[in-house]
Structure 1
Amino acid sequence: MLDAIPSMRLLDIVDILLVSFIIYRIMLLIRGTRAVQMLVGIALIIIIYFLSGKFELQTLHWLLKTFLGSILVVIVILFQTDIRRALTQMGKTPFHKADDTAEQDMEEIVRAATYMARRRIGALMVIERDTGLRDLVDTGHRLDARLRHELLVAIFLPASPMHDGGVIIHKGRIHSSGCLLPLSQSTRIDKRFGTRHRAALGLSEETDAIIIVVSEETQEISLVQHGQITTFHDEKTLTATLKELLAPRKKTARWKTWLPLLRRHEKKA
């Protein structure tokens, strides 16, 4: 294998990098969804297929061979949602993050969180990023409404039929409400944190989502990401943190810095 390295062409390296990038993007798309379990099940069927052939289990081998003969159709049926999402994202430019949230949207989230904290209204708001949350969306009520702090407050009022569970925010819109989040099984969670914080931690351990939790008991606002809870006591700090996480500064493209230098060079010539 090492002998083949000197004979590798530049196109071979590009080919390997492209395949690696495609596999990486597919892993990001299916992470945190039921597609992972489906892929594991298909992998087990393939392993059993080869083992049945090796040990001459003719009937089982024939059945699995027939099934695997139409595996492409099975994959399209099982993963139609994920394939649709992947094809949609292919049309997006790779130079801008899909999870960038407009400054106005962040202000709406912060205003709703601070309003509910002052009035002891519990809330759980999930900002979706790269990892798809389709499985969680299916457990709640689909809204697809414009992101407004008044609507967020109305959803989490104790008298509202949708106040239980979390709200999922996707691309500046309230996608769904009343969604059930997976509870964290960690034993190191502070005892003062309740079910909402445990649900936020559970989701953050499986996805890259940013979760805002409002505690009705302590009137605290917490930001949960990657299994970590950060508590905020003022609106400015929370806004600044969200801007840093969701709206990173965009670097100037290199061609924009090279263009003036080329023009100067042409003038001198």
Structure 2
Amino acid sequence: MADLWNNLRNVFGTVLPQDLLDIAIISYLFYQVAKLVRETRAAQLVKGIMILLLMSVLATQLRLRTLSFLMENILQTGLVVMVVVFQPELRRALEQVGRSQIGKLKFFSSGMDEGEVRERWRGFVDALVEGAASLSRQKIGALVVIERNTRLGDIIKTGTVIDSGPSAELIGNIFFPNSPLHDGAMVVRDGRLHAAGCFLPLSDNSEISRELGTRHRAALGMSEMSDAVVVVVSEETGFITVCRDGKLERGYSVERLRQYLTDELLPEPSEPSEKKFERRKAKKA
């Protein structure tokens, strides 16, 4: 017993703080990778790799030279094949890393006071909710992408820049049937209607209901490749749908949509900034 205790003490006596940090980081990375691939087709790839590794070990232990040769070559070329075949999943994983708390560090400031930011987004939420309610009643389709931390310059280039202040009337006019920009998506940047008629990437998610058309598939695809909030109005049913982080939720009421957008888009107020903005408004009045 004393020998066992001495052996354990000798082993753990050589463990340095950086070794514990190293183990913690590797464990966290393995956990994040497992969480990312768990609900994608990449999960099957991981199972396949584990089976090949097991076969390679067995072939080596049993001295099966031909099988060992094949397994070694398969595993050496497997990495390249994996990158090519699973490029969408790898890209999505890297984008999720970029949208993590570390990736949200801001290096540039908009120069706007917090109260001004809240006021602008509050005006946008009012305009979008009113516009969506009107379009829903008339069963006119709409697709609105609200840009957040991930910049959508490549999406904006596919449409027409309008850079207008938000209004329910303008939203309704853009999506009115047969208008020049009604088929594409509207992109909102910094609380302004920045572009319209934009083309979005379609989701390749095979679990999407067949009842949902191209507009919903595009909304889901946009939410999979960015941190944008996407609002959809169905032209068949008039239902309002919200997509975010690759998840789609249908049947939003007007009140629920307003509350959701308010919670997601309006920054938490800090008392000094709010008072400063109110004083500035009073001076202008």
TM (norm. structure 2) is: 0.54
AA aligned to 1:147 is P
User: Is the CA contact (8 Å cut-off) linking 1:164 and 1:178 kept in structure 2?
Assistant: yes
Structure 1 position 248, deviation (Å): 4.3
Q: Distance in 1 between matches of 2:180 and 2:264?
A: 32
Residue 187 of structure 1 corresponds to 206
Seen in structure 2, the aligned counterparts of structure 1 residues 139 and 148 have a Cα distance that, compared at 3 Å, is same
Q: Which runs of 5+ in 2 are unaligned?
A: 1-14, 19-105, 273-285
Q: Is 1:90 aligned to 2:108, yes or no?
A: yes
1:120 aligns with 2:139: yes
Q: Give the equivalent residue in structure 1 for 2:227.
A: 208
Question: 1:106 deviation in Å?
Answer: 0.1
Question: What residue number does 1:136 align with?
Answer: 155
Q: How many residues align?
A: 170
Q: Does 1:246 align with 2:268?
A: no
- Judge conservation of contact 1:181–1:202 (CA < 8 Å) in 2: yes
Whether the 8 Å CA contact 1:185–1:202 is kept in 2: the answer is yes
1:178 corresponding residue in structure 2:
197
- Residue of 162, 185, 188 corresponding to 1:166: 185
Amino acid paired to 1:245? E
Aligned to 1:154: 173
- CA deviations over 1:246-266 (Å, ceiling 9, x no partner): 11433669xxxxxxxxxxxxx
- Structure index of larger Rg: 2
1:91, distance to aligned residue in structure 2 (A): 3.6
Computed over aligned residues only, the root mean square deviation of the Cα atoms, in angstroms, reads: 2.9
Aligned to 1:58: none
1:104-125 CA-to-partner distances (Å, cap 9, x unmatched) read 2101001111100110110000
**Pair 1:178–1:92, CA change in 2 (3 A):** closer
TM-score when normalising by structure 1: 0.57
- Give, in whole Å, the separation in 1 of the partners of 2:257 and 2:222: 20
Q: Where does the alignment leave 5 or more consecutive residues of structure 1 unmatched?
A: 6-87, 254-269
* Structure 2 letter corresponding to 1:215: S
In the other structure, the counterpart of 1:111 is 130
- Deviations 1:108-159 (CA, angstroms, capped at 9, x unpaired): 0011111001101100001110000000000001111111110111011112
State the distance in 2 between where 1:111 and 1:94 align.
26
- Report the Cα distance in structure 1 between the residues aligned to 2:113 and 2:122, rounded to whole angstroms: 19
Identity percentage of aligned residues? 36
Q: Contact 2:123/2:166 (CA < 8 Å) preserved in 1?
A: no
Give the secondary-structure state (helix, strand or coil) at the position aligned to 2:222.
helix
Q: 1:235 to 1:128 in 2, by over 3 A?
A: same
Distance 2:222 2:132 in 1: 19
